[in-house]
Chain A
Amino acid sequence: MNKVENKNNNSVNIVKNTLKALAFPFFSIIVSIFVAVFFVMWAKGYSILQYFSALGDLFGLIYKGGFGNTRVTFVTVSEVTPLIFTGVANAVAFKTGLFNIGVAGQFILGMLAAAIVGTIPGLNPVIHIILIILAGLVAGGIWGAIPGYLKAKVGTHEVINTIMMNYISMALANFLILRTHFGVPGKASTPNIQKSAELHRFVSGSGANISIFLAIAVAIFIFWLLWKTTVGYEIRAVGINPHGAEYGGINIAKNTVLAMVLSGAIAGVGGATHVAGVLHNVKDFMALPSYGFDGIAVALLAKSNPIGCIASALLFGTLNSSSRTLELNGIPKEIVYLIQAIIIIFVATDYIVKYFSEKKKKEAITNE
């Protein structure tokens, strides 16, 4: 009898905790859309009374631009894929208490590695695709290992190093593409990869390809790794309380490097599959790929839960892919980026919730 009650209590608790965990991300999304509608109204010249019609416009257009027909749905899928990779990459770092702003750079390295390995002629498609993914993995992993090592051995902050390495990777890519035989002379891009290296697309003419399954698999794998294995336990322990972890015999330096390598490798695979599936070549970079920074938003909104990253990547991917439809309807596509930025601002301030609950407690104490 007691056992049954306990079980019921447990499941109630699980539901309660899940709802609690989801409440704040949802709140952030709602607030950011609420704010974004004002920008829509301003752009369209609506008066304040038309708030709800602007809200309707925004929602309708985001839906239409994200899932309105098969073509845009596939665009959404191709936007979601890299975001899952970069989101999970950021999440792994967050879980270790690190901030890997360098995901964008690791993504570039993955792209470069794929573009170079992809041009090797005469390989079996299966082997070639495995090679291309491994190339991205290794390139991103090494690029993540450098700031990880510097953090573990010298103690320099990974944020600064990864920011610097983002720009270094951009310069490296441009150098290789524009000034060496890896690039096509006079074209500012690498040659197209071999047919054998291309990932299978769902329909021709759309970037959506099978790497979405790989992305989901990686997210699930990382979830399993973090919560069901000793390796993951150590990584999380370092993230929650490094001193406690060290006292318990966990090597902080090792786990810092490991987490950065893991994070970089996932970002690198994301870059590699983006080249193998969508782009087929790499053009020179004017700016850092936005997937890196969007990945931060994805991970934050998902509260660094890899499975949650799939859902939040879906949200951000839909926003990205609907930007064209928005623009065609007189709403500047920057609305999408504004929504993303505002979501991050609100997610970053989850202290608000704590602040009010603490205030309540304090008042309760003083009232006694």
Chain B
Amino acid sequence: MSSVILITLLAQTLRIATPLIFAALGGIFSEKSGVVNIGLEGMMIIGAFFSVYGSYITGSPLMGIVFGVVAGGVLALIHAVLSIHLRADQVISGTAINLFSTALASFLIFKLFGKGGQTDIVKGLSYNIPDAITNIPLIGKFISELNWFVILAIILVFVSHYVLYKTPLGLRIRAVGEHPKAADTLGINVYKIRYFCVILSGMLAGLGGAALSLGITPLYREGMVAGRGFIALAAVIFGNWKPFGALGASLLFAFGSAFNIFAQGLSWNLPTEVYDVIPYVLTMLALAGFVGKTTGPIASGKPYEKGSR
């Protein structure tokens, strides 16, 4: 295998992994604070659609990203209100968010673009790097095959790790997710932290959606997200609820797909479906304790009721 092919394969892996990394980081923040977020899929859908719409009306992909992130955050706010204040079952609320956003995106394609199924092609985020870098052997080629989202995703993994494990805020988030009552007695506002984390998770998932639409093909098509939100959820679990773990899991899952595309050029390819199930099977095995050991935040999924025993 020549090094050029290897580099293409790696760059491809990173590009496929990027939306997953964003959404998985979102999932980590939400789950660390004790709110299960099944709605990642829906938030990615809304992020993907609104980033396209933002780029469509403003003509600027950067504004598109802002639209996508805000839309994801607003949707997450609904999930937050439902599951934190109204104490709805978080899984049900997430399911409703998924159904709602799929329907809303399709409705808005009809309403705002006047057609069904998919939007117009809009301006994607251009990725121009100076020749000085492109000309570096191997690394230059590798970098030129990425996009800004990839770089941002990797930076955000470091930032998330730092925030979660090295700052007081991160300590509070983890305390709220592990033992909300103890955190409350110490004067931490459990609801505030949870709201913050859920909204942040929606914004990150929205960014993941934007990375999927503006970063790859700059349009939104129905069914485009295709379960990536759930793969991101799998990456959260397989990565043991840690940013670097999620990065690794996303890369592993994405490598499956990238290798699949790559292997189709060779004669010894396995069926696509085999690559498709890898993330899901690995996650189930990991959860069952066969591969590695994963333990989630203890209070995850439980609404916190002030003053309850």
Contact = CB atoms under 8 A, between A and B. Distances in A.
A146 B98 CA distance: 25
A49 B301 CA distance: 43
Contacts of B95: 101, 293, 296, 344
A101 B111 CA distance: 31
Contacts of B277: 167-168, 171-172
B281 A43 contact: no
A345 B82 CA distance: 8
Interface string A136-174: 000000000000001000101101110111011001101
B284 interface: yes
B110 A300 contact: no
B86 A352 contact: yes
A345 B273 contact: no
Nearest to B278: A171
A286 B111 CA distance: 25
Interface stretch (A75-83, A217-225, A259-267, A330-338): A330-338
Nearest to A338: B103
Nearest to B92: A348
Contact of B110 (A43, A150, A287): A43
B88 interface: yes
Given A156-B287, A171-B277, A293 B103 contact: no
Contact of A338 (B89, B100, B274): B100
A338 B301 CA distance: 25
A341 B93 contact: no
A352 B110 CA distance: 34
A65 to B, nearest CB: 17
B142 interface: no
Given A171-B273, A172-B273, A334 B223 contact: no
B263 interface: no
Interface residues of B, number: 45
Contacts of A165: 280, 284
A347 B88 CA distance: 9
B281 A168 contact: yes
Contact of B233 (A163, A336, A344, A348): A163
A132 B240 CA distance: 42
Nearest to A161: B284
Contacts of B100: 338, 341-342, 345
Contacts of B104: 334, 338
A164 B86 contact: no
Nearest to A43: B111
A334 B233 contact: no
Contact of A334 (B87, B110, B274, B280): B110
Classify chain A's interface size.
35 or more
Contacts, number: 129
Interface in B215-231: 223, 226-227, 230
B30 interface: no
B122 to A, nearest CB: 21
B107 A335 contact: yes
A334 B111 CA distance: 11
Contacts of B204: none
B91 A351 contact: no
A59 interface: no
B96 A341 contact: yes
B88 A168 contact: no
Contacts of B289: 154
A334 B45 CA distance: 15
Contacts of B93: 345, 348
Contact of A349 (B88, B103, B234, B283): B88
Given A39-B107, A161-B284, A287 B86 contact: no
Contacts of B271: 175, 178-179
Contacts of A286: 223
B121 interface: no
B280 A287 contact: no
A99 B106 contact: no
B200 interface: no
21 contacts: A99-B91, A99-B92, A154-B287, A156-B287, A156-B288, A157-B287, A163-B233, A164-B283, A167-B230, A167-B276, A296-B95, A334-B106, A337-B106, A338-B103, A338-B107, A341-B99, A344-B96, A348-B96, A349-B86, A351-B87, A355-B86
Interface of A: 39, 42-43, 99, 101, 150, 154, 156-157, 159-161, 163-165, 167-168, 171-172, 174-175, 178-179, 286-287, 293, 296-297, 300, 332, 334-338, 340-342, 344-345, 347-349, 351-352, 355
The 9 A-B residue pairs whose C-beta atoms are closest, nearest first, are A337-B103, A341-B100, A164-B280, A348-B88, A344-B96, A341-B99, A175-B273, A334-B107, A171-B273
Interface of B: 36, 38, 78, 82, 86-89, 91-93, 95-100, 102-104, 106-107, 110-111, 116, 223, 226-227, 230, 233-234, 237, 271, 273-274, 276-277, 280-281, 283-284, 287-289, 301
Given A163-B38, A300-B92, 16 more contacts: A159-B91, A160-B283, A160-B287, A164-B281, A165-B280, A171-B276, A175-B273, A175-B274, A287-B226, A332-B111, A334-B107, A338-B103, A341-B97, A341-B100, A342-B100, A348-B92
